[in-house]
Structure 1
Amino acid sequence: MDCFSINGGKNMAFTFQINNDVVWNHDEKLLAKAERNTPKLIQTTIQPAAIAEIIADEKSVNGFKSVVSEKNIAQLPDYTLGRDEKIALDLGDHYVGKFTIDIDSVGSPMDAPLYLRLKFAEVPAEIVAEAADYDGWLSRSWIQEEFVHLDVLPTTLEMPRRYSCRYIELSVIDTSPKWKASFSNPIFMAESSVSMEQLPKPVIEDKELEAIYTISVKTLQDCMQTVFEDGPKRDRRLWIGDLRLQALANYATFDDLALTKRCMYLFGGMTTEEGKIPANVFTEPNLTPDDTFLFDYSLFFATILFDYVQHTQDETVLQDLYPAAKKGMDLALRQVDEAGRLVLTEDWPVFIDWSNDFDKATAGQAVIIYAMKRFIQLAEKMQDSQVKHYQALCQQLEEFARTTLYDAEKKQFVIEGSGEVNVASQVWMVLAEVMDAKTNQEIMETTIKEQFPITGFGTPYMYHHVVEALFVAGLPEAAVQLMKDYWGKMISMGADTFWEAFKPEDLDFSPYGSPIISSYCHAWSCTPAYLIKKYLAG
C-alpha cells in the first residue's frame, strides 16, 4: 500500500491510500440485486424565490449572509447586465439538481459573444470566495463555477452538470458596449430519490429541536440520490461510515428500504479477496470499489446489516449478505492478540474522526466490541456453528477493556501505556456497553465535567456519537443540550442543511482552507432526525 498525507488545515490531516495490488471479488448476483434496487429520481421544478444581496456578517457562516434584494425576482429580465455586472438568485432553500435559464440580448445588435460566469453556492460565503485564491489539498475541480461563451442570443442555457446549492450568481464578464444580457425563466430541476410528501413528521414540542429535525431531514433528502451520497456537492459517492448513519436516519423518516438495500448490496458485492470491505464505492461510469480501507468502516458493514434486519426482519437480505459480514469480521479479528487487545496497523487505520489530536486505539477497541455484539446476533439468527467462538472472543475483548483500559479511579477509559484520556474513548466504550449502566453514566458524567465543552473534533460525525452516548448513559438533558449547542449553532449561523465540518470553538474553520470547497450538505450530519425520533419522540 502506498499512502500520502496532506495537511488538511488546523489540527487536521488526511491520508490518501493507493492500493494497486488489491484483488477484488465481484459477486455478480449481489450486484444485480443492487442494480434492481436503483431508484428513479423524483424531479421537482424550483423557481428562484428572490434576488439576493450577499453582505458581510460576522455571525454567519464564514462571515457572510444573504438578504432579500430590493430588486423583484418577477422583474428579472429588466435587470440587464453588462461587463462586470452580476446578480444572485436565491432558490429559497437548498437543492440538488440541474439549472437552465433563458438569455437574450438587449440594445444594439449583438456584435460580440456573451462571456458569462455562473457560481452555484450552498452558502453565501461561496459567492464571495474567489476560485483563483483557493490553495487547498482537495482538487479545485470540485468548485461549482462555470465559464460559458454564447455566440448567439436568444438561447436557453442548459447546464449539463448537477449542482448542490441555494444561491446562483450570474456574472457577465463581458458583452460589448453596444448591448447587455437579459435573463429570464430560471429553472432549477431538483432531484432526490425521496419526497417530503412521504415523510411522517413527528410532533416535536420544543421549537429548537423541531428546527434541528427539519433541517436534518432536508440534509438527508438531498443526499439520497441513486445511492446514499456523502455529499452532493463534493465526493458524491457512497461511503460506508456515512451509510450507517444515513440508514438509521432514513428508517426514522422516509423509510426508503430499496435504497438502503442497494447500498448494502454494493458493498457486499465488491470486497477484497481476503474479505475487506472498501470504505467507499463509485457507481459511475461503472461499479467500482475504492482502494481505501478503514478498519472501523469495514466493521460497520455488519452493524448496517444488523440495523436493517432489526428494522425489516428481511431474511433474504440476511442470507445474501451474512457471508460478506462474516468474512469481514473474521479478517478484523486477526488484529486481536491473545490478550484480547486490538492491534491497529498503519495500512488499516481506524477513522473515528478526522482529527489526529487524540489516540484512537481505545475507541477502536470499543468499535470492534460494538460491531461484534451486533454480528453475534446475526450469527445466532443464521444458526452459525461458530457463535460460541465469536462470543468468547467478544468477552475477551471486553475483559481487556475493563481490566487494562479502564481507570476506576478516574472513571475514564485510557490509552494503554500513555494513560491519555479522550472523549472518543469514553463515547465508544459507552456505545459498546462494555460497563454496566451505572458505570456508563458515571463515565459520561465525568466526561462532561472534565472534557466539556468539547474541542478538537471537527465533524458532526463525532458529535453524533457523543450525543448518542449521552442518551445511552441515561443523560438525555445533556444529550439535548449538546444537540442544541452544536446543530442549533449551525442554524443560528444560517444553515439550510447541516455541514460536513464544524467547530463551535473555531467558527471560521474549514478543513480545506476555503468555503468554496467545503460541503455544507453532508450525510453524516443528518442524524438528529434519528436521535430525536428514537430517544425523544418515540
Structure 2
Amino acid sequence: MHRIVILLSTLCCAVTLMAQPALPPVFAQTDAARMRADAITRVYLAPVRVMQSHGATRPDVLTRITNGQTELGRNGMCLLSSAEGDTASITLDYGRELHGGLRLTLGSSSRPEPSLVRIRFGESVQECMSDTRNTKPCVGYSTDDHAKRDIVVEIPRDGQMEIGNTGFRFVRIDLLRTGVTVAIKEAAAIFRYRDLPYVGSFSCSDSRLDSIWLTGAYTVQLCMQEFLWDGIKRDRLVWIGDMHPEVATINAVFGYSDVVPRSLDFACSEFQLPRWLNNIPAYSLWYLIIQHDWWMHHADRALLERHRDYITQLVDQIDLTVDSVGRFRANVFLDWPSSADKAGVRIGVQALTVWSMDAAAKLCHILGDSAREDKCRAVARRISSHIATPKKLRQAAALMVIAGCMDAGDMAERYMHGIGGFSTFYGYYMLEALARAGRYDDALDAISRYWGGMLDLGATTFWEDYDPAWGSNANRIDEIGNPARKNVHGDFGAYCYPGFRGSLCHGWASGPTAWLSRHVLGFEVVQPGCRTLRIRPHLGHLDWAEGSYPTPYGAVKVRHERTAGGHIKTTILAKPRGVKVITDR
C-alpha cells in the first residue's frame, strides 16, 4: 500500500507546483517548493442590513462598500461608543451564507492603544448572539469546533484587520472596554469561493423548485474549497460518504472540477488500507460508487489508473469482510437518525455493499481485471441471496431499491409515508427510490416541503440536519425574533450536531439539485465521458421544465413542455459535437 500513497502524495505536490504564480525575483526558484498557490477567489462584500445596534452612530454606512483604504479621522464612519458601565455592539447581515472572514477598515479611535472587541460569526443571527461552550456540544450553545467563530481580539486605530475563517452569514461586534469610541469605515465580509461557471441549469413552472435547485448548487460550491468539504463551518473535512451527493451535484452543475480527484487522492493517502476511509466501512463503499459515477461522466482514465491498486485491494478487503451468508463483518453506519435501528442499519449496509460491488465490477472490467470483476459479482450474490427486509428503516429500504434488492413499488407503499426521520444526506436516496417506483409527484412534493421548508425558515444553503417539525412556532434563522419562541437553529438538533453546532451549509444536503437534473430534465449518462446521453423527462405535475447539463464537450440543453393532450414535447436546444443524444419522444 506504500506505493499507492507515495504516488498520490507526489501527484498532489506536482499539481501544487504547476499552479504556482510567478514570484518576485527576490525569491529563489527553490522557494517554490515551500509555497502553495491559492485556488480560491476572494472578494469583499458589504452587509445588506444592520440587524441590531447599541451605542452606534451612523451604523447604516456599513452597508456600503468603500475603497477599503484606511484614512485618518472619523469622517462619515460608523462610531461604536461604550459609555461607563455599558458596552456597544452591532450585528450585521451579509444576505446569504458565505465562507471566509471579516475585514475591518478602521479610522481614529478615542485612544492610542488598540481596543478590545469580541467578534462572533453565525450561520444564523441567533448563533452570532449566542454563548460558546467548547466542552460537550449541547442545545442552546455554539461551539468553536473545527473553526474559531467566537473571537476576542484587539483592533488597531487607523488600520485594517482580518479576522476569522469560517462559514457565516451574520457577524456581531461587541466593544468590550467602557469609555471607548472606535471608528469603522468598512466591515466587509471576506468571501472565499471557487469562481466556477454554472454550466448546468434548471428552471420549471414551479419557481420554488428553481430556488431549491440553485440553493443546492450554491451549497456545494461553497464546500468546494481547496478540497471538497462536508461543510464550511464544520467539519471542514473530506468525508467520502458526504461526497457522493456532492459529486452528483458537481456533475449536474459544474461538470469537471479537479477538487473531486484531488479529494479522492487525499482521502486514500490519509486512510491507507486496510483502514476504511474515514474509519467508516460504508464510506469505503461510497468511494467505489463515486469512482464509477466520475468515470461515467468524465472518463478520467488518469484518476482510475492512479487508484487501480487501491480499488482492487479494497475489493479484496470487502470480499473478506462479507461472510458466506452475506453478513458484513465490520462496524456499520448509514446516517445518525438511523443509528438506533441496528438491524435496519446492517441491512442497509448490505444493500450499499451490493450497489458498490456492481460499481466496482464495472471498474474492474474497465481496468481489465476479470478475476476481481468476478469477485465483485460473487460478493453481491452472497448478500442478495440472504438479505432480509428492514422492519421500518426507510434509509435501508431506499438503498435496497437502488441496489436492486427490493421492488420499488413495494418499498414506496410500505416505507415512504411522510417526510422527516432521516438526514438531509439520505433524503437524496429516498428521492431516488421514489423515482424508481415512478412516484415523481411524491418526490417533487417531498423536495418542496422538506428542502423548501428550510428556505421558508431563512436558509440560503441547505443544512446538515432538518426536521419539518422544527418550523412550528419557531424563529427564522434571519430574525432575532420572539424570545418566547424556539430558535430553529439553536434549540434543536441531536447526535453530534445539537444546537448551534449544527452546520447550515452541508454539501450532503444538495441531493435535490442532482435529482431534478437527472429525473425532471431526464439527463442520463449512458456512455462513459458523456459520449451518449439519454433524455427521459418526468415532469410530474409540472407544465414545463428547461435546463442544461455539463459534458466534457459542452452543455446539452433541453426544454420539455406538456401539450394540450397531456403528452410531453421535448426540444433539444443545444447539443455539442461529440455527444449523442437519445430521446424517447
Q: Same fold (TM over 0.5)?
A: yes
Match of 1:456 among 421, 424, 449: 421
Q: How many angstroms apart in 1 are the aligned matches of 2:497 and 2:405?
A: 39
Question: Which residue of 332, 336, 340 maps to 1:357?
Answer: 340
Aligned equivalent of 2:182: 181
Provide the residue aligned with 1:536 in structure 2: 520
**CA–CA distance in structure 2, aligned partners of residues 105 and 251 of structure 1:** 50
How many angstroms does 1:445 deviate by?
A: 2.2
SS of the equivalent of 2:464 reads coil
Q: Evaluate the alpha carbon distance shift between residue 396 and residue 170 of structure 1 in structure 2; reply closer, same or farther with a 3 A threshold.
A: same
Residues 309 and 99 of structure 1, relative CA distance in 2, 3 Å threshold: same
Deviations 1:205-247 (A, max 9, x none): 3111111111111111110100001111122111101112211
> What is the aligned partner in structure 2 of residue 392 from structure 1?
378
User: CA RMSD for the aligned pairs?
Assistant: 2.6
User: What is aligned with 2:500?
Assistant: 516
2:42 corresponds in structure 1 to: 43
**Identical-residue share of aligned pairs (%):** 20
Once the two structures are TM-superposed, the CA of residue 42 in structure 1 deviates from its matched residue by: 1.6
1:96-141 Cα offsets, whole Å, 9 max, x none, are 11321122345xx527652211111111120232125975179644
Among residues 285, 292, 309, which one is paired with 1:299 in the alignment? 285
Structure of higher RCO (CA pairs closer than 8 Å, 6+ residues apart): 1
Which of residues 395, 412, 415 in structure 2 aligns to 1:447? 415
Q: CA deviation at 1:369?
A: 0.3
Shift of 1:278: 2.2
Residues in 2 aligned to 1:139 and 1:226: alpha-carbon distance in whole angstroms: 24
Among 416, 439, 445, which residue is 1:475 paired with?
A: 439
Give the whole-Å Cα distance in 1 for the aligned partners of 2:81 and 2:218: 34
Q: Are 1:342 and 1:364, in contact at CA under 8 Å, matched by a contact in 2?
A: no
**Matched residue, 1:136:** 137
Q: Please give the TM-score of this superposition, normalised by the length of structure 1.
A: 0.78
CA offset digits 1:364-393 (Å, max 9, x no partner) = 110000101111111111221312333233
Q: Which residue in 2 is equivalent to 1:434? A: 405
In structure 2, the partner of 1:119 is 120
Which consecutive unaligned segments of at least 5 residues does structure 1 have? 1-22, 55-68, 280-292, 406-412, 415-419
Q: Which residue of 2 aligns with 1:13?
A: none
Q: 1:87 corresponds to which letter in structure 2?
A: I
Q: 1:372 aligns with which of 354, 357, 372?
A: 357
Structure 2 segments unaligned to the other structure (5+ residues): 17-37, 65-75, 472-490, 523-585
Letter in structure 2 aligned against 1:445: E
TM-superposed CA distance for 1:489, in Å, is 0.4
2 CA distance for matches of 1:74 and 1:143? 25
- Structure 2 distance, partners of 1:33, 1:323, is 15
Q: What does 1:96-111 align with in structure 2 at a 5 Å threshold?
A: 96-105=99-108, 109-110=110-111
Letter of the 1:537 counterpart: L
Partner Cα separation in structure 1 for residue 284 and residue 50 of structure 2: 46
Distance 1:35 1:193, change over 3 A: farther
Equivalent residue, structure 2, for 1:290? none
Structure 1 residues 249-297: Cα deviation after superposition (integer angstroms, max 9, x where no partner): 10100124311111122233344343x3421xxxxxxxxxxxxx11110
- The alignment partner of 1:174 has SS state of coil
Following superposition, the deviation at residue 24 of structure 1 comes to 7.2
Matching of residues 24-423 of structure 1 within 5 Å = 27-37=5-15, 40-53=39-52, 71=60, 73=62, 77-82=77-82, 83-105=86-108, 109-110=110-111, 113-131=114-132, 135-136=136-137, 140-141=144-145, 142=147, 144-150=149-155, 152-159=156-163, 161-176=164-179, 179-195=180-196, 197-274=197-274, 276-279=275-278, 293-339=279-325, 341-345=326-330, 348-359=331-342, 360-386=345-371, 387-401=373-387, 405=388, 413-414=389-390, 420-423=391-394
Does the 8 A contact of 1:426 with 1:444 survive in 2? no
Give the Å deviation of 1:488: 0.5
Q: CA deviation at 1:79?
A: 4.3
Separation in 2 of the partners of 1:318 and 1:143? 37
Structure 1 SS opposite 2:318 = helix
Give deviations 1:276-327, integer Å, cap 9, x for gaps. 3421xxxxxxxxxxxxx11110111111110111111122222221321221
Contact 1:134 1:140 in 2 (8 A): no
Cα distance, 1:492 vs. partner?
0.3
- The CA distance in 1 between the partners of 2:6 and 2:133, in whole Å, is 45
Closer, same or farther in 2 for the Cα pair 1:315/1:102, shift >3 Å?
A: closer
- State the AA in 2 paired with 1:157: M
Aligned residue pair count:
456
Matched, 1:501 2:472: no
Q: How far apart are the structure 1 equivalents of 2:101 and 2:283?
A: 32
Q: CA deviation at 1:147?
A: 0.5
Question: Would the alpha carbon gap of residues 269 and 133 (structure 1) be closer, same or farther in structure 2, given more than 3 Å must change?
Answer: closer
Structure 1 letter corresponding to 2:339: N
SS of residue matched to 1:394: helix
What secondary structure sits across from 1:202 in the alignment?
strand
* Partners of 1:299 and 1:329 within 8 A in 2: no
Separation in 1 of the partners of 2:257 and 2:236? Answer: 20
Distance 1:350 1:332, change over 3 A: farther
- Given that residues 399 and 429 in structure 2 are in contact (C-alpha distance below 8 angstroms), is that contact kept between their aligned partners in structure 1? yes
CA deviation after TM superposition for structure 1 residue 454, in Å: 4.2
Give the letter aligned to residue 485 of structure 1: R
C-alpha distance in structure 1 between counterparts of 2:355 and 2:503, whole Å: 29
Q: What whole-Å deviation, never above 9, does each CA across 1:139-195 have from its counterpart, x for those lacking one?
A: 644451111124x52221222x3121111111111142xx41221122222112233
**Secondary structure in 2 matching 1:153:** coil
- The secondary structure found in structure 2 opposite 1:222 is helix
1:288 — aligned with what?
none
Distance 1:272 1:219, change over 3 A: same
Query: What is the CA-CA distance between 1:352 and the residue it aligns to?
Result: 3.7
Greater displacement, 390-399 / 76-85? 76-85
Provide the C-alpha distance between the structure 2 equivalents of 1:462 and 1:172, rounded to a whole number of angstroms. 43
Give the secondary structure class of the aligned counterpart of 2:217: helix
Structure 2 counterpart of 1:41, one-letter code: I
CA distance in 1, matches of 2:108, 2:421: 53
Give the Cα separation in 2 of the matches to 1:272 and 1:432: 27
Between the aligned partners of 2:13 and 2:255, the Cα distance in structure 1 is 19
What secondary structure is seen at the aligned counterpart in 2 of 1:212? Answer: helix
TM-score normalised per structure 2: 0.72
Question: Given the superposition, is the C-alpha separation of residues 421 and 222 from structure 1 closer, same or farther in structure 2, using an over 3 Å criterion?
Answer: same
